[in-house]
A and B are shown apart, each in its own frame.
Chain A
Amino acid sequence: MSARRIFARPARFAAIAPYVWMVLLFLVPFAFVLKISLSQTVIAQPPYEPVFDLTAGRASLEAAFAALSIDNFKLLVSDDLYVYAYVRSLTVAVTATALLLLIGYPIAYGMARLPTRWQAVAMVLVIVPFWTSFLIRIYAWINILQHDGLLNQILLALHLVSQPVVWLSTDSAMYIGIVYSYLPFMILPLYATLAKMEPALEEAASDLGAPPWQAFWLVTFPLSLPGIGAGVLLCFIPIVGEFVIPDLLAGSNSLMIGQTLWLEFFTNKDWPVASAAAIILLVVLLMPLLLYERLQRRQLEQGR
């Protein structure tokens, strides 16, 4: 038996503790979400009617299954408020992801063309804001965007506007916040693919007479598609369920699904409806999630 295989056996034992932890604190909780999404709302603590009681034997279990209700789901697909929230979440996520790609690509491209020594510095500079608190970064923008904030002061001083513009509680503020928060997630996978690319390819294209934009469009861009895929998924998925940014920066007249879930849970104390909303959100995200998982695994295998 090779040393490698002997090593593998105890390495497998290392999986036990994290495996048990993830099953208990990641997988099992989803069963609870599913269960509660199927139960009736009651005004009590906790505010739902237990669907089944495992200690009471088989008969009660069967009775419980008969009592399962999909009322919460019916409510969520029939009430305009929720349908609108899902549509809005997807619209916001698509728009924001497109903006991120548009802004992030030139930055990643510039990074990849830096001399090697500077590339590492640029990468650290892009990662550092990701380490500083998310909430703080949003708060920084509230400072800038508020009625008498810096942006309005500058605009007034330059005579670009005659009176302060309302920025807070608008969609523009929300998009600024989302782009600002997720930009590193878009730049890093793009940069990773662009930096690996052979510079000779683009040079060959220009030696053969292609103007720079054509060399880029016909050679660099198609080769960077895997990075685009990873960046888009990495941004799109969490943005759909985003709560803090729309809550602090966008207006309260149109909600995203993360906000309605939060509202149902904390304000209306309707746990079953909140759970049902979470299930639907998860189903909506399942396709991109699986896609992301496959991409991630392929990248890890390539890196090996």
Chain B
Amino acid sequence: MRKRSRLSRFNVASLALGLAFLYLPILILVIYSFNASRLVTVWGGWSLRWYHEFFGDRAMIEAAWMSLKVAASSASIATLLGTLAAVALSRGERFAGRTLFSGMLYAPLVMPEVITGLSLLLLFVALDAERGFWTVTMAHTTLTMCFVAVVVQSRLGSLDRSLEEAAMDLGCDPVRAFVAVTLPLIAPAIVAGWMLAFTLSLDDLVIASFTTGPGSATLPIRIYSEVRLGVKPEINAICTLVIGLIAVVIVIASLASKLSSAQGESAAPL
């Protein structure tokens, strides 16, 4: 037992201020999205006016639909490739080009997006590929599979390997041991990886701006061009909808990780 509480007043104050700093701006944004008044300064009462406006804005709806399609497809491909990469890195022992492989997977995590976006665009131009849905999806897959790989790899690293070995001693071949034993254990991390990839793709402005073509703008691209012109209440409403969607995704992801801790292992760190 501890002698006394280790929390000093300074600790409490910095925690409270820090969390307020992180959450107040988003809270204010959400509240103002229900403001009936066009002026931000004036509180005109609660209203759903700006949500109506958004659902009547065809270009915005199209962009939102495009973003959702890109996010779902790129997250799915990225989850498949990222999981394979994580398995190879944490179970493959040594193989040729392993250092290059892990380097390529870590670099995009911190690489400035302008560089990734520019380099992918130059590739697509050189290949003479038609820019639009598929080029953005491939670009997002390249970025997000690295995040999936990190999430799944940390889960694989914390797993007790004697389980796999036991399955193989009992006569499973490696592939069967993986499918029957490892895969169910890392499933929560795979789900969390998909969610992370989905939100990252939904969020991305820079890479999408480089790799998309005319007529296929994603939601962040549309929001960005509106925001440059100033604050518009309609944007508050769209942002609130996106926040709501992401909140749902987070709840599912945290349920998945709770499921994994219920299995008697530590939850995959996100």
A243: chain B residues at CB < 8 Å are: 112-114, 206
**Known contacts A110-B18, A124-B254, A148-B41; is-contact A7 B112 (Cβ 8 Å):** no
Which A residues fall within an 8 A CB radius of B? Answer: 2-15, 17-19, 21-23, 25-30, 32-33, 36, 46, 103, 106-107, 109-111, 113-114, 122, 124-129, 131-144, 146, 148-150, 153, 180, 183-184, 187, 199, 203, 212, 233-234, 237-238, 240-244, 248, 258, 261-262, 265-266, 271, 274-275, 278, 281-282, 285, 289, 292-293, 296-297, 300, 303-304
Closest to B83 in A: A14
**Known contacts A241-B113, A248-B228, A274-B118; is-contact A11 B87 (Cβ 8 Å):** yes
Interface bin, chain B: 35 or more
Closest to A24 in B: B123
- Which segment of B49-57, B58-66, B157-165, B183-191 sits at the interface? B157-165
Closest to A122 in B: B15
A241: chain B residues at CB < 8 Å are: 111-115
Contact with A along B114-138 (1 / 0, CB 8 A): 1100111011011000000000001
A146: chain B residues at CB < 8 Å are: 40, 231
Docked pose: A43 CA to B21 CA in angstroms: 48
Q: Is the CB of B157 within 8 A of A300?
A: yes
> Nearest chain B CB to A99's CB is how many angstroms away?
12
Docked pose: A111 CA to B18 CA in angstroms: 11
Docked pose: A248 CA to B130 CA in angstroms: 30
Which B residues fall within an 8 A CB radius of A? Answer: 2-3, 6-8, 10-12, 14-15, 18-19, 21-23, 25-26, 28-29, 32, 39-41, 80-82, 84-85, 87-89, 91-93, 95, 97, 101-108, 110-115, 118-120, 122-123, 125-126, 138-139, 141-142, 145, 149, 153-154, 157-158, 161, 164-165, 168-169, 174-175, 177-178, 196, 199, 202-203, 205-206, 209-210, 220, 223-224, 227-228, 231, 235-236, 239, 242-243, 246, 249-250, 254, 270
B103: chain A residues at CB < 8 Å are: 293
Q: Is the CB of B112 within 8 A of A139?
A: no
Q: Is the CB of A237 within 8 A of B110?
A: yes
Interface of B is mostly: helix
